[in-house]
Amino acid sequence: MELRHLRYFIAVAETGSLTEAAEQRLHTSQPSLSRQIRDLEDQVGASLFVRTARGVELTAAGRAFIEHARIALNQVEAAVEAARRAAQPAKQRFALGFLTGQEMNWLPDAMHVLRDELLNVDVTVSSDYSTELAEAVARGRLDVAFMRAEPDFDLAYEIVDREPLVVLMPSDHALAARDKVAVQDLAGESFIAMAGKARFLRTVVDDYLERSGVKLEPAQTVDNPAMVMSLVASTRGVVLIPSYVENLMPWSVTSRPLAGDVPTIDLAVGFSPKNQSPTLRLFLSRLDELKARHAGRHSRT
């Protein structure tokens, strides 16, 4: 008895037709399939099928035989897969997360520092809000994330950048004619504030406005960079936001640096100290190289 006999038998049993099994499942001729089934029945010593008006059906012997046949084939397939995995060990997985929009700035540099491992590691990339990234790192769904240093999670953080806040506004806004914008000039403008999922940024902005003695009442709140752009363009509002979002600006939105003592917000690499991944250790050991490459490509004047 050969494996093909079992495959042919199961195909006929599942289709209920010698012709359909031959043509659609096995890609062989119907007479050849019939011979294979007869050979199997001779070896089993019992009829496995009975012909009916609708095709063929399993006999009592066939019903007893089919489950064992399926188990045998599954075991063979499992053995083949195990052998293949042993011959070609599975690649390690390394999952990178980014605060939405930051992947445009940091992914090329992150992949560069992993260059020696890329043949042995499957790298996955995702983007999300900072709080969701922190939870994913804490739960082991991500190995490392470029995010804010969220205080509510048992994670370690390494600061990789301090991003200045800039003012976003409609491209034809009167303030766009200036090289820099003083925060006092925003008084009376329709102000877009950060919402709950961007709480870290909201705190930085609120502290800055308080230190500057400027009171801005939010006309809208938002926590998604794409929605920020839409609101700036549609409501002609202004927003204080980290400079990385300049990568996402459509033609209808522009940015200007702030005048005076410009506030910054930290971008950190967050990871779990419990994560023993060798790829994570390698990545962390090259953070200085990562920061140097990023600074070289994104030098600010």
- Check: CATH 3.40.190.10 for 92-160+266-297? yes
Which range is least confidently modeled, 109-118, 246-255, 258-267, 291-300? 291-300
Please tell me which of 57-61, 72-76, 96-100 the model is most confident about, judged by mean pLDDT.
96-100
pLDDT, position 89: 61
Whether 301 has a pLDDT exceeding 60, the answer reads no
pLDDT, position 90: 64
Whether 87 has a pLDDT exceeding 80, the answer reads no
Q: For residues 284-295, give the mean pLDDT.
A: 90
pLDDT, position 32: 86
Q: What percent of the chain has pLDDT over 90?
A: 41
pLDDT, position 85: 64
Nearest to 254 by CA among 163, 179, 162, 161: 179
pLDDT, position 99: 92
Give domain limits for the chain: 3-87, 92-160+266-297, 162-264
Q: What percent of the chain has pLDDT over 70?
A: 97
Whether 142 has a pLDDT exceeding 50, the answer reads yes
Q: What confidence tier does 101 reach under pLDDT thresholds 50, 70, 90?
A: confident
Same fold, 92-160+266-297 and 162-264: yes
> Which CATH architecture fits 3-87?
Orthogonal Bundle (1.10)
Q: For residues 18-32, give the mean pLDDT.
A: 82
Summary mean pLDDT of the chain:
87
- Say which CATH topology domain 162-264 has: D-Maltodextrin-Binding Protein; domain 2 (3.40.190)
pLDDT, position 273: 92
pLDDT, position 298: 67
pLDDT, position 269: 96
Q: For residues 233-255, give the mean pLDDT.
A: 91
Q: For residues 193-198, give the mean pLDDT.
A: 81
Q: What confidence tier does 264 reach under pLDDT thresholds 50, 70, 90?
A: very high
